[in-house]
Amino acid sequence: MEDSMPVSLPGVCNSSRPLGKTAYTNFCLSGKLAKIIYFCFVLISTYLALTFWRKKKHTQNTFKMTMSSSSSLIKFENLQELKRLCHWGPIIALTVIAICSAMAILDSVLWYWPLDTTGGSINFIMLINWTVLILYNYFNAMFVGPGFIPLEWKPDDIQDTMYLQFCRVCQGYKAPRSHHCRKCNRCVMKMDHHCPWINNCCGHQNHAYFTYFLLLAPLGCIHASIVFIMTMYSQLYDKVSFGWSSVKIDMSALKKDQRPIIPFGLSAFAATLFALGLALGTTIAVGMLFFIQMKVILRNKTSIEAWIEEKAKDRIQYYQTGEEFIFPYDLNSKWENFKQVFSWSGTPEGDGIHWPVRDKCHQHTLTIEQLKQKADKRVRSIQYRVIEDYNGAYCPLNKGLKTFFTTPCTEEPRIKLRKGETIFATRGLKRWMYGDKVLDEEQIKAGVRIRGWFPRRCVEKCLYDKASDLLANEEKKDR
């Protein structure tokens, strides 16, 4: 096989001459172009954030507009929603989006596919569209929110309260499919999970937006990754021997100008390589989350309900009751289940309290199973006595290296322990346990509940069975 002919790439600056006045002017213009793209991204993000924040406030009637003779003033009653941006999750997520989007646009315009070609213009528009669509669904998922059960909610039929759990924090009953979120401090409609990346829960009202974001983010990152790879390949083809003597890619049609605005130097290569790593990592991580979400959506479940169903099977098998648990919300049709979350209007079906159920089931089939599991958890809980103080640190250095490195990867709280206290443990790992701390009567009446993770080495199992103590604390645990 004959050796490949050397290819002269139009995007590579082969001259070693120092930059002249014209080159310096072009360099300044490229800097202005980068700033313009960056500020456009910031303006788009700010506009979308404020738009969906105001949309949520208007939907929930939580802001007032006061007209005066000189100006129109908008007085917002609650600024909590904007504070969601001041969290490590949204900061990291928006930073990754900004880096990947800005680098993809810069690489395309400056070195890979300029705007003076038809393909370059289409590529540029697609990159902008990916950014807008990703931010649109991201801010919708964050600011529209999952929907919360009204405080002090009760069912229409008072007899249905016997099938529901009571939330002492919200001072109301938990509607079917709702769960209390410790982070949001509210009972969430059809709660799936609390997502730190949007600093909000994923639930009934924003489940579709969250899933769209999980789909669009990997697609946009795949497009950006292709741009990054082709940019580095086209710019380094003449300078680095890849060992591909038989590979010939004609890059001459991509650029007409033999000298780019700025050369593709080491800093540009490092930035592009870093952005490529972020894009590929996001594609894999977020793509996996998308498939997990679609798996439960097509069964009309949430991640929590899938776990409840799994525990129901374990409970039935453990006690050999012979009963059959049928998940009530799976409508036996993937398309019907799909429509429960996604709609053309963007608003999911239902009011977040009443749900369509399959045959042989009713509205409280799942809540009854939850009550059974809660009672079973009390029976299986084991009493422990604290023998060593613990300050509640997530990664305690003074409890041993194995305890430090095996801390549970969860945002669930850690609880402080004092020697002599009593804990009812409900689950555990090799070196960590999760349980409820036994409180005094005043704390019980006030509705206080302290539960979380603690190191296993800090407690020892009680050698006697305090069934009477467990029954005395039943009211405290029934929430």
* Separation CA 425–CA 380 (nearest Å): 9
Can you read off the two tokens belonging to residue 404? 């430090």
The CA–CA distances, whole Å, from 402 to 128, 146, 407, 409, 410 equal 47, 38, 9, 14, 17
What is the C-alpha separation between 99 and 91, in angstroms, rounded? 12
CB 117 within 8 Å of CB 17: no
Is 195 tagged catalytic? Answer: yes
Residue 166, strand partner residues: 173
The DSSP output letter for 70 is S
Instruction: Break the chain down into helix, strand, coil percent, rounded to 5.
Output: 45, 10, 40
Q: Residue 49 corresponds to which tokens in the numbers above? A: 């954030």
What string of DSSP letters covers 321-334? Answer: -------TT--S-H
- Cβ-Cβ contacts under 8 Å for 24 (sequence gap 6 or more): none
- Alpha-carbon distance 91 to 96, whole Å? 9
Structure tokens at 195: 């997502």
Distance CA 436, CA 452 (A): 7
Amino acid residing at 293 = Q
Q: How many residues does the chain have?
A: 479
What phi and psi values does residue 195 have, to the nearest 5 degrees? -100, 120
Q: Which one is catalytic: 170, 181, 195, 458? A: 195
- Residue 89 to residue 193: CA distance in whole angstroms: 15
Q: Active-site residue numbers?
A: 195
